[in-house]
Structure formats: structure tokens, C-alpha cells
């Protein structure tokens, strides 16, 4: 039966992987774009034919191309030089305030020069909304191309490829402008052959807040004095790194903003001296940040990026510097393209920003809006082939002005024709002596153009790419088959066990009636699957897992109390006591026997430990996404003295070391081996303490790079210690032991196979203890106590399930530990938003950026709790009853392996398959939902990562059990051969 179960399980996993890969390929395609680069055709009225049917423009030298564009556009370039300064991660509210209110006094004092420009109406600022995912690479693409890429750009952010689509920098390069880049090397990866000079720095080593900006500013004086460039790109990363390390309120934040303000002052002063206001300084940020300093999601704090312009065309005699001027990040590309006399990039759906056109005449402003509308019109024609400008003009007169059409295509057609009509009226009154009449026609035309452009831009930005439905349905069918295979395997397994009556040690276990804990598990999983269809439940998923976990363990508590009451009655409890006081308990495996009274006390204590620890974890990080502002323990500690957080870290490390030390004292093994394991654990604990003591992440002070060597020493010692323990423990413990005569065995000694149990107890405790220390090293300092509590829950659950196997079926036990892992996952502050991923911890012990190493550490930090519980299942597997195989000549290792490994591996795979398949169906149904990219798609990425986590955890359980059983089988066979 074991071979059949293994075969069906492997087949189910392969089907799931195939289905998941197919769905990811179909649902997240690369967004289709118009090929080629905009040219002279951009200045002509779009024809009603196919967009790609235009004639190929002949290649011209840069000077001739520049003259051609100027002649066709009718607008002379407003600027000759561009300085594009990107301050990574700077929220717009730090500079422009929020809700028509200025920023805080502290923020204004951090950027005095910038604030003086705003107050003097010599600069204009916008809250430029960034589209999710709010990570650097896709946001840079959006700024230079005016288009939003595919959602999976969040993954490509760590492996940037050359950008081949039409964009502003290539357009400027084609008319002969020379470009220089200093800062984030992402620019060099996107445009590898574009820059005349370049000096890139890694954007991913977030622990560096000083050198990463110094390497940019050290070239600044030279480049500002140079005359050979027309475009200078400066990308400063330090502020974003400060956020990742210490959050928005880091003590380093104001210092970094002062540094950026000084750079703005230097650049602006140089531009005023050199070319008589012909230089435009643009200060932008690629995204904002949450209170914790992270980004990637779709909250206001993450999408609130800055677009700040300093130049003669933005100066105005009157301004309201802190008005809530809103724009989109994609508006930057068409605005800069028209100001510098190049065509708008082909896939741009941005809108020209009006505050940058103050130096132009009314005719020039309307011409810019007309060119912008033509560009948007070409994109509309690519999406809706029947969309034609001539048809729009003809149908405009038949539509009443007060009634807008219901169809979005007709609405856009009507708005465009209205704008063109008002533009023509403005031309007719151009020479009018009545300036007020002329101004009125201009204002009407400009308003109509902006109305059309904003509506069309919004429609294009939300336009979902057509998904190949047959491909997605095929993927879901494969995943459904995988789920059915696993369900069939479980059914076959339970049917086989029922027929063989393998679990004869407990009458209650063979009871076919449904018990309350089993009903709750099944009902809870059903409710969880149903909840995945609600965006609110997806955003606040932690409440589901906390409720299911606490309710299930309350039922366990009630059953434990009921068992104690029955045990106190001699007539009722005699038989139960005889059955429950078996030899497969955790305490027997550790050679520590308990009286029935102590056993009952420990049963209650272990459940209470899990419940109390769960309540503390639940209160540590109160909110998910919508209610993250709720007060909780972590926020209180964030405002407390840093020494308090450091003290809690030290206490947690010592508690993990003490817990592991106590567990080792209960084992009877070779003293030198146990002492060796204990010493390595003590050494690793000491290294974590050194890291805590020397690391100032919690206090937001600069990072001491010497702590990296401490972390690397920990990695080496922990890896070697765990590997040696896993490999050596099956060889250390004796195979058999002779105990006193039992009542059922007469005068013959009982041969109990408990060496494999002790081996798995040691392995499981080593796994969890070293994993706990690793997480205390990697996680945010504020999560130290929850990490220890999750470890305590893991050990307490394994001990509780070993004390009385008549209370809960094994599959319920496995599911309960899975629930604990998911509750702990959200209890550590994780959410279904990409912004909750801890980037800073992924560089502990790494001196330079490595995609593979940082990605592995980031994965381990994110799934610390589920992996902890999977490792705890090794400890849980060590207490399974295998006394049926106690006869040496009838030793059935397949049965032992089945008892140890089947359910702990099968049920996590089944639960994950149910959740993944259900959510895949939900995602397909929600593919046109408003929140598909902001809520449902990030959750699906987490579901995929959780699948990888499940595979890793199950693989560890299976390989550990297989290796242990293989060693003991070999030793038992050798012992039998010697005996014969």
C-alpha cells in the first residue's frame, strides 16, 4: 500500500506543478505593446486603418530628425537639458504634504531649499500615483515609456533585462542628445548601450545607506561643469534603504532628506548659471513606502510618489504650493517628450501635465494637447479596431450634449470629437480683438482635451489583456485532477487502515462517528475556501487563521478536560488508562515516564501554552492591510526605548537555548554526541547574541558591517551541526531496549523499537531549535517574542499529541499544526500585500548582492512559521505508535515508515492543493475585477510561494524519515545476521 500511496502522491504533485506553470504562463502574459518607435507620423492625424499599416519612415541623421520634428510639431523645444533626479522611495507627502496641508515641520526643515522653491512659485509638485507593483524596475519603465507593464514585472525586478520598447531616453538619443547616468544600476541594465558615461551601484544591498549615495554625488561637481551631455540621470537609493531598515520614522530619514535637498540646490544653482533657464530639473520618486519602510503593494502610502519640476516653464506669479495636485506616474513621459521636441513614446497613455506649460502660448498648449490626443487615439485603435476619428467627428452632431453614451467606446469618441470641435473654434477666434472671448474658447478646448485624455488614459490603464481562456481552463483541470488524486489517495489510505484495523490500540480511534474537532477542521477548510472569493477576506486573511486555530485548540482543551474527568472515575477510567498509558509517548521516547496524574496535568498545560501563546501572537500585529493602523504590541514596542526591544531579543535567544538544552537532558544517548550537539547550539546562540548586541537595526542607526561575519559563522556552524545530527542520530541510538515485564507479555521480556523514535525526537528538536535561532537572526527585532512563542507552540503541540492518542486522530493533529503555522505566519506581520516582505533581513550575512542567496533568505523569513511547523512535524512523527512491529523476525519497516511519514506528508499537500486550486478558480473568475492586480494577484503569488514552502517542508519530513528508517533497517538486519 505504501508504494501505491507514494506513486499517486508523486503523480498528483507533478500534475499540480504542470497546471500551476500553465496557469501562470496564461494569466500573467507579457503585456502586448505596439512595436517600433514613434516617428514623424506622430505629428499627423491618425488614419482609420490598422495602426501597424503605416509606412516605414526613412532613417535620418540626428540633426535632420530634430529639425523635422520641430517643423512638424510647430512647437520649439522648451528646454535643451534635462536633469532627471530619482530619489528612490520618497513619499510625495514628505515634500508636498497631504490633503491640502503642508508636510510636518520636521519634514519642511529637512528640505529648506526645496520648500523655498515651492513657496516662491518657482517649482511645481504633483502627487504622481504609481501603479502596483510598487517596485523600482517597473516604475522606471512607466516613467520613461508612459506605459504600465505586466504584473510579473515584480519578479523581473530582481533580474532586469534590456528595455526594448519605445521610450523617452531612446527618443532623446535618436535626435543626438548625449546621456549620462549615475546611481542605480537598474538604468544600465534597462539601457545598456545608451549612456555616454555611467557609474552604477547595486540597488538591492539595502543595508548600505551612505556609500550608495556618496558614489553618485562624488561625480556631481564634474558632471555639472561638463558641457557634453544633454540628459543627466541621478538615481539616489539611500532614502529607500533607510526606510527598509528603520521605516518612515527612522532617525536617519531627516538626515537623508537634507542630503537630497542639498543635491537639488547644487543642481539648480548650476543650471541657472550655465544655460539661462534652458535646463529642466525633474525630481521624482519611483514609489512611496509604508510605515515599516516596505513597498510593493497598492496602498496610498506606497503609490504616493513624487513628481517635482523646477524650470522656467513652471514659474507662475501665483500658486498654491500644497494643493493636492494629482497625476499618474505615466504622465511624465509625454510631458517631457513634448517639452524636448521628440515624439511621445508609442505605448504611452500618459497625459501632459498643465503646470509645466506656463511659458507657452495658448496655441502651443492646445497643439501639445492635440498631439497627446492623437497618441492616445492610436492606442485606442490598437485596442478597438473600429475606433476611427472620422466616425467620431461625424457622429458628434447626432448626440445631445447633456447625455453621454453608455458605451465606453462611444463616450470616448464623443469626448474626442467635442475637444476637436472646440479646438477648431479657438482657431477661428485667434485674431479676435476680444481677448476674453479668445481666452474662453481656449479654456473650453483645453478642458475638453483634458476630459478626453483622462477618461481614455484611465480606460487604457484598466484594460485587461485578453487571457487565452482555453489555456487557463486546461491548467485548472490539471490542478483539479491533482487535488482529486490526493483526495483519492487519502480515501484509499483510510480505507486500507480501517480494513486492516491497524490502529487497534484505541477503540475511540476506530469510532466511525464524527467528532467535534474533525467537523471543525472540515468546516473551517470549507469556509476558508469560500472566503477566498472576497477581496476583504483576502486582505485580512489573518483573522480566518487565528479564529480557526484558537477554536480548534479550545476544542482540544475541552476534550482533555473531559478525558481527565473520565479518568478520575475508576469504573470509567480503568480501561482508558490502560490504553492511553502506552509506550509511544514523547516522554517514553525521551526515557522519562509519567504517572497518570502528571500526564493529565501536562495535557492541560500544553494546550494552555498553545492558547496563551496564540493570543499574544494574535495581538502582536493587529491589522493586515485595511486595519494596519490599529494599536498593537509591535507599535508600542516601536515607540519604546530601543533597549527594550534588544532585551526581548536576548530573552528570546536564551529561551530557545534553554528549551533545547532541557529537551537534550531527557534523551539517553551517547553523552559525547549529545554534548556535541548541545555545544554547537550554544555556540550558535552566542553568535546570535553577538549579532543582536552589535546590530542597530532596531535603533535605526547605521549598520555595522562587521556583524556580517558573525552571521556567516552562524550559517556555517548551524548547517554543519544540523547535517551531522541528521546523518548521525540514527547510528547513535540503540535499536532495541529490554524493559520490565508488562502485564500483557507474561514472563518474556518486551522488545520495543524505540531507537528510531529517539532519533527522530533529537532530529526534530534540532530542526526546530536551530530554525528558531536562524529566524531570531534574520527577522525584524520586534518579532523575537512571537518567534519563540511559535517554537513553544510547536513543541507543546507535539508533546500534547503524544500524551494521549485516544483523543485526536492523527490527521486532525497534522491539520492542527498546519493551522498553527498559518496563524504564526500572519502573527509575524505578514500579509497578502507584497509590501510586507522583509527585504532588509535578506542581506544579513551577505556582503554584496546575490539574487539567489538573498531570494532564499527572503523566502525563509517570509515563511518562517509554516516551515517551523513542518519541521515540528518531524518531532510529531517521532511519537507514532509502532509497537506492532516489535517482533524482530516480523519487523515491517514499510509499516513503520507508513506510520511515521504518510499523513504528515499527505495532508499538507492536500490542504495546499485544495487552497491553491480553489484560489486559481477564484482568480480566473475575478480576472476583470477592479482589484485583480492590487488584491487577488499578489495573493496568488503568495499562494504559489506557499506551494513551494509545502513542497520543501514535505520533502524534509519524507527524506528525514526515509533516511532514519533505512539506517535502522540496515542495523536491524546486521543485528539479526550476527544473532543467527
What is the 8-class DSSP label of residue 372? H
Task: Look at residue 705 in the predicted model and tell me its pLDDT.
Answer: 53
| pLDDT in the model for residue 402 | 46
Give the residue-averaged pLDDT of 154-183.
Answer: 83
CA distances from 937 to 472, 526, 753 (A): 15, 22, 50
From 3, 833, 943, 953, select the one nearest 479 (Cα to Cα). 943
- Asked whether residue 66 is assigned to any structural domain, the reply reads no
Give 242's Cβ-side CA count (13 Å radius). Answer: 27
Give a yes or no: residue 7 inside a domain: no
In a domain, 51, yes or no: no
Asked whether residue 434 falls in the same domain as residue 304, the answer is no
Q: Does residue 27 lie within any of the structural domains?
A: no
Mean of per-residue pLDDT scores for the chain:
82
- pTM exceeds cut of 0.95: no
pLDDT band for 510, please (50, 70, 90 cuts).
very low
Q: Establish if 872 belongs to a structural domain.
A: yes
Most confident of 468-472, 596-600, 818-822: 818-822
- Model pLDDT, residue 588: 55
Domain identity same for 190 and 201: yes
Task: Kindly state whether residues 405 and 320 are assigned to the same domain.
Answer: no
Q: Is residue 453 part of a domain?
A: yes
262-138-169 Cα angle (round to 5): 65
Do residues 330 and 433 share a domain?
A: no
From 642, 833, 832, 650, select the one nearest 246 (Cα to Cα): 642
CA–CA gap between residue 166 and residue 413 (Å, rounded) = 26
Range among 447-461, 474-488, 681-695 with highest mean pLDDT value: 474-488
User: 268-272: which pairs have CB atoms within 8 A and are 24 or more residues apart?
Assistant: 268/113, 268/117, 268/310, 270/224, 270/225, 271/81, 271/83
Average pLDDT over residues 878-907: 64
Residues 276-303: pLDDT tens digits?
568 999 999 999 998 888 888 778 888 9
149 and 259: one domain?
A: yes
Task: Encode pLDDT of 330-384 as tens digits.
Answer: 999 999 999 999 999 998 989 999 889 888 888 899 999 999 999 988 888 887 7
Q: Which of 359, 375, 394 is the C-terminal boundary of a domain?
A: 359
Rounded-to-integer distance, Cα 62 and Cα 629, Å: 54
Confidence of residue 584 (pLDDT cuts 50, 70, 90): very low
495 within some domain: yes
Kind of pairing, strands 279-284 and 304-310?
antiparallel
- Who contacts 270 (Cβ-Cβ below 8 Å, separation ≥6)? 224, 225
Q: Nearest Cα to 272, choosing from 323, 224, 337?
A: 224
Model confidence at 182, pLDDT cuts 50, 70, 90, reads: very high
pLDDT for residue 506: 43
Q: What is the pLDDT of residue 776?
A: 93
Q: Which three cell numbers stand for residue 28?
A: 500573467
Are 691 and 730 within one domain?
A: yes
d(CA 441, CA 428): 10
Rounded Cα gap, residues 273 and 858, in angstroms = 48
Residue 787 in this model has a pLDDT that exceeds 80:
yes
Cβ of 378: how many Cβ atoms within 10 Å?
A: 21
Higher pLDDT, 649 or 397: 649
Q: What is the pLDDT of residue 251?
A: 87
DSSP-assigned beta bridge partners for residue 181: 198, 233
Looking at residue 701, what is its pLDDT?
42
Return d(Cα 309, Cα 281) in angstroms, integer: 6
Where does the pLDDT of residue 30 fall: very low under 50, low under 70, confident under 90, or very high at 90 and above? low
> For residues 686 and 893, which has the higher predicted lDDT (pLDDT)?
686
- Left, alpha or beta for 183 (phi > 0: left; psi -120 to 50: alpha)? left
Please count the CA atoms within 13 angstroms of the CA of 786 that sit on its side-chain side: 30
Q: List pLDDT tens digits, range 736-781.
A: 654 434 444 433 333 445 677 788 888 999 999 999 999 999 998 8
Q: Which residues pair with 305 in a beta bridge?
A: 91, 128
CA nearest 920: which of 534, 483, 475, 297? 475
pLDDT of residue 693: 85
Contacts 24+ apart (CB under 8 A), 842-846: 842/778, 843/204, 843/205, 843/206, 843/207, 844/691, 844/707, 844/708, 844/711, 844/777, 844/778, 845/708, 845/710, 845/711, 845/712, 845/714, 845/715, 846/205, 846/708
> Are the C-beta atoms of 187 and 181 separated by less than 8 Å?
yes
* C-beta of residue 344 within 8 angstroms of C-beta of residue 15: no
111 and 254 fall within a common domain: yes
Strand partners of residue 197 = 180
The predicted pLDDT at position 125 comes to: 92
- pLDDT for 458 equals 85
Top pLDDT among 242 and 429 is at: 242
My answer on whether omega of the bond before 567 falls inside 30° of 0, hence cis, is: no
pLDDT exceeds 60 at position 960: yes
How high is the pLDDT of residue 509?
A: 44
**3 state SS of 628:** coil
Q: Are residues 533 and 619 in the same domain?
A: yes
Per residue, what are the HEC states of 391-451?
HHHHHHCCCCCCCCCCCHHHHHHHHHHHHHHHHHHHHHCCCCCCHHHHHHHHHHHHHHHHH
Greater model confidence, 523 or 581: 523
713 pLDDT higher than 50:
yes
Helices (H), ranges, 61-111: 62-73, 93-96, 105-110
Which of the four pLDDT bands, split at 50, 70 and 90, describes residue 266?
very high
DSSP for 273-328, please give it: HHSTT-EEEEEE-S----TTS--SS-SHHHHEEEEEEESGGG--SS--TTS--EEE
- Average pLDDT of 387-398? 63
pLDDT band at 805 (very low <50, low <70, confident <90, very high): low
Q: Which residue range is the domain that position 368 belongs to?
A: 360-464
Domain annotation covers residue 418:
yes
In a shared domain, residues 340 and 374 = no
- Residue 377 and residue 459 in one domain: yes
Query: Given this model, what pLDDT does residue 879 score?
Result: 61
What is the C-alpha to C-alpha distance for residues 296 and 776, in angstroms, rounded to an integer? 24
| Whole-angstrom distance, CA of residue 90 vs CA of residue 94 | 7
pLDDT tens readout for residues 612-624: 999 999 999 877 7
Looking at the DSSP bridge assignments, the partners of residue 284 are 86, 307
**Of the candidates 342, 359, 376, which is a domain's last residue?**
359
What percent of the chain has pLDDT above 90?
A: 38
pLDDT one-digit tens code per residue, 651-674: 999 999 999 998 888 776 667 888
Same domain, 835 and 943: yes
Q: What is the pLDDT of residue 204?
A: 63
Per-residue confidence band for 58, with pLDDT thresholds at 50, 70 and 90: low
**Residue 170 — pLDDT band, cuts 50, 70, 90?**
very high
Provide the number of structural domains found in the chain: 3
Q: Label residue 698 by pLDDT band (50, 70, 90).
A: very low
For residue 461, the model assigns a pLDDT of 77
CATH number, residue 201: 3.40.720.10
Kindly state whether residues 249 and 101 are assigned to the same domain: yes
Q: Average pLDDT, stretch 309-313? A: 91
pLDDT, residue 401, reads 43
Measured distance CA(561)–CA(244) in Å, rounded: 47
Amino acid at each position: 500500500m505504501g508504494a501505491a500511496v507514494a506513486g499517486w502522491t508523486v503523480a498528483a504533485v507533478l500534475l499540480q506543478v504542470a497546471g500551476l506553470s500553465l496557469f501562470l504562463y496564461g494569466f500573467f502574459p507579457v503585456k502586448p505593446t505596439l512595436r517600433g518607435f514613434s516617428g514623424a507620423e506622430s505629428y499627423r492625424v491618425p488614419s482609420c486603418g490598422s495602426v501597424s499599416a503605416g509606412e516605414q519612415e526613412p532613417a535620418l541623421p540626428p540633426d535632420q530628425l530634430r529639425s523635422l520634428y520641430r517643423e512638424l510639431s510647430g512647437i520649439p523645444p522648451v528646454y535643451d537639458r534635462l536633469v532627471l533626479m530619482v530619489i528612490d522611495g520618497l513619499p510625495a507627502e514628505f515634500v508636498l504634504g497631504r490633503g491640502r496641508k503642508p508636510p510636518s515641520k520636521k519634514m519642511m526643515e529637512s528640505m529648506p531649499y526645496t520648500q523655498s522653491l515651492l513657496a516662491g512659485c518657482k517649482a511645481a509638485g504633483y502627487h504622481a500615483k504609481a501603479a502596483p507593483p510598487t517596485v523600482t524596475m517597473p516604475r522606471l519603465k512607466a516613467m520613461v515609456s508612459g506605459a504600465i507593464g505586466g504584473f510579473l514585472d515584480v519578479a523581473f525586478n530582481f533580474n532586469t533585462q534590456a528595455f526594448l520598447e519605445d521610450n523617452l531616453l531612446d527618443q532623446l538619443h535618436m535626435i543626438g542628445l548625449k546621456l549620462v547616468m549615475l546611481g542605480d544600476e537598474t538604468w544600465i541594465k534597462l539601457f545598456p548601450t545608451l549612456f555616454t558615461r555611467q557609474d552604477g551601484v547595486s540597488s538591492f544591498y539595502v543595508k548600505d545607506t551612505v556609500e550608495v549615495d556618496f558614489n553618485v554625488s562624488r561625480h556631481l561637481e564634474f558632471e555639472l561643469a561638463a558641457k557634453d551631455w544633454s540628459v543627466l540621470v541621478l538615481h539616489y537609493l539611500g532614502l529607500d534603504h533607510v526606510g527598509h531598515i528603520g521605516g518612515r520614522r527612522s532617525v536617519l530619514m531627516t538626515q537623508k532628506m537634507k542630503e537630497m535637498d542639498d543635491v537639488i540646490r547644487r543642481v539648480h544653482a548650476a543650471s541657472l548659471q550655465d544655460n539661462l533657464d534652458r535646463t529642466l530639473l525633474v525630481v521624482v520618486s519611483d514609489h512611496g513606502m509604508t510605515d515599516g519602510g516596505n513597498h510593493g503593494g497598492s496602498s496610498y502610502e506606497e503609490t504616493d510618489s513624487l513628481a517635482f519640476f523646477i524650470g522656467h516653464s513652471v514659474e507662475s506669479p501665483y500658486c498654491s504650493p500644497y494643493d493636492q495636485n494629482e497625476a499618474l506616474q505615466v504622465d511624465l513621459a509625454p510631458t517631457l517628450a513634448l517639452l524636448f521636441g521628440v515624439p511621445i513614446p508609442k505605448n504611452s497613455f500618459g497625459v501632459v501635465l498643465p503646470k509645466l506649460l506656463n511659458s507657452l502660448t495658448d496655441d502651443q498648449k492646445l497643439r501639445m494637447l492635440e498631439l497627446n490626443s492623437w497618441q492616445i487615439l492610436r492606442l485606442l485603435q490598437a485596442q478597438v479596431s473600429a475606433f476611427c476619428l472620422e466616425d467620431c467627428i461625424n457622429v458628434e452632431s447626432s448626440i445631445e450634449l447633456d447625455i453621454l453614451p453608455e458605451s465606453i467606446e462611444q463616450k470616448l469618441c464623443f469626448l474626442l470629437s467635442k475637444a476637436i470641435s472646440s479646438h477648431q473654434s479657438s482657431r477661428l477666434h485667434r485674431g479676435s480683438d476680444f481677448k476674453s472671448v479668445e481666452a474662453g474658447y481656449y479654456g473650453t478646448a483645453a478642458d475638453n482635451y483634458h476630459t478626453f485624455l483622462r477618461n481614455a488614459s484611465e480606460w487604457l490603464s484598466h484594460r485587461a489583456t485578453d487571457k487565452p481562456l482555453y489555456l487557463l481552463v486546461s491548467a485548472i483541470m490539471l490542478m483539479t485532477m491533482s487535488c482529486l488524486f490526493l483526495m483519492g489517495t487519502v480515501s484509499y489510505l483510510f480505507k486500507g487502515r480501517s480494513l486492516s484495523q491497524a490502529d487497534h490500540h484505541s477503540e475511540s480511534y476506530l469510532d466511525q462517528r464524527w467528532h467535534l474537532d474533525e467537523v471543525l477542521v472540515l468546516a473551517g477548510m470549507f469556509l476558508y475556501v469560500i472566503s477566498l472569493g472576497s477581496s476583504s477576506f483576502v486582505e485580512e486573511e489573518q483573522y480566518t487563521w487565528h479564529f480557526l486555530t484558537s477554536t480548534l485548540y479550545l476544542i482540544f482543551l475541552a476534550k482533555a478536560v473531559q478525558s481527565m474527568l473520565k479518568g478520575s472515575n475508576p469504573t470509567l477510567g480503568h480501561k482508558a488508562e490502560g490504553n492511553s498509558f502506552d509506550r509511544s509517548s514523547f516522554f517514553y521516547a525521551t526515557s522519562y515516564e509519567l504517572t497518570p496524574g502528571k500526564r493529565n496535568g501536562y495535557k492541560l498545560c500544553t494546550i494552555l501554552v498553545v492558547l496563551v501563546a496564540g493570543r499574544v501572537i494574535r495581538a502582536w500585529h493587529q491589522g493586515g492591510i485595511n486595519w494596519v493602523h490599529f494599536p498593537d504590541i509591535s507599535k508600542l514596542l516601536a515607540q519604546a526605548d530601543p533597549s527594550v526591544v534588544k532585551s526581548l531579543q536576548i530573552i528570546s535567544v536564551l529561551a530557545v537555548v534553554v528549551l533545547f538544552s532541557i529537551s537534550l537532558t531527557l534523551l539517553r544517548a551517547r553523552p559525547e554526541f549529545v554534548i556535541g550537539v548541545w555545544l554547537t547550539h550554544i555556540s550558535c546562540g552566542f553568535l546570535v547574541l553577538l549579532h543582536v548586541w552589535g546590530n542597530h537595526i532596531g535603533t535605526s542607526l547605521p549598520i555595522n558591517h562587521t556583524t556580517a561575519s558573525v552571521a556567516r559563522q552562524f550559517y556555517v556552524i548551524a548547517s554543519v551541526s544540523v547535517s551531522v545530527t541528521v546523518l548521525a542520530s540514527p547510528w547513535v541510538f540503540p535499536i532495541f531496549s529490554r524493559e520490565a515485564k508488562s502485564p500483557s507479555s507474561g514472563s518474556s521480556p518486551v522488545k520495543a523499537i524505540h531507537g528510531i523514535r529517539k532519533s527522530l525526537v533529537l532530529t526534530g528538536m534540532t530542526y526546530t531549535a536551530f530554525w528558531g535561532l536562524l529566524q531570531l537572526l534574520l527577522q525584524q527585532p520586534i518579532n523575537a517574542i512571537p518567534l519563540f512563542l511559535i517554537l513553544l507552540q510547536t513543541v507543546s503541540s507535539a508533546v500534547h499529541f503524544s500524551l494521549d492518542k485516544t483523543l485526536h486522530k492523527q490527521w486532525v493533529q497534522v491539520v492542527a499544526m498546519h493551522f498553527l503555522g498559518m496563524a504564526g505566519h500572519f502573527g509575524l506581520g505578514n500579509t497578502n500585500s507584497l509590501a510586507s516582505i522583509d527585504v532588509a533581513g535578506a542581506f544579513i550575512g551577505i556582503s554584496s548582492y546575490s539574487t539567489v542567496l538573498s531570494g532564499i533568505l527572503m523566502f525563509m523569513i517570509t515563511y518562517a512559521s509554516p516551515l517551523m511547523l513542518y519541521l515540528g512535524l518531524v518531532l510529531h512523527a517521532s511519537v507514532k505508535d509502532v509497537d506492532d512491529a516489535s517482533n524482530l523476525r516480523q519487523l515491517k519497516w514499510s509499516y513503520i515508515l507508513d506510520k511515521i511519514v504518510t499523513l504528515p506528508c499527505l495532508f499538507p499537500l492536500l490542504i495546499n492543493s485544495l487552497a491553491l486550486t480553489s484560489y486559481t478558480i477564484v482568480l480566473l473568475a475575478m480576472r476583470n475585477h477592479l482589484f485583480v492586480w492590487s488584491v487577488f494577484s499578489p495573493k496568488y503569488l503568495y499562494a504559489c510561494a506557499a506551494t513551494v514552502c509545502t513542497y520543501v517542508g514535505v520533502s524534509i519530513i519524507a527524506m528525514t524519515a526515509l533516511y532514519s528508517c533505512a539506517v535502522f533497517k540496515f542495523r536491524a538486519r546486521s543485528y539479526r545476521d550476527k544473532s543467527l
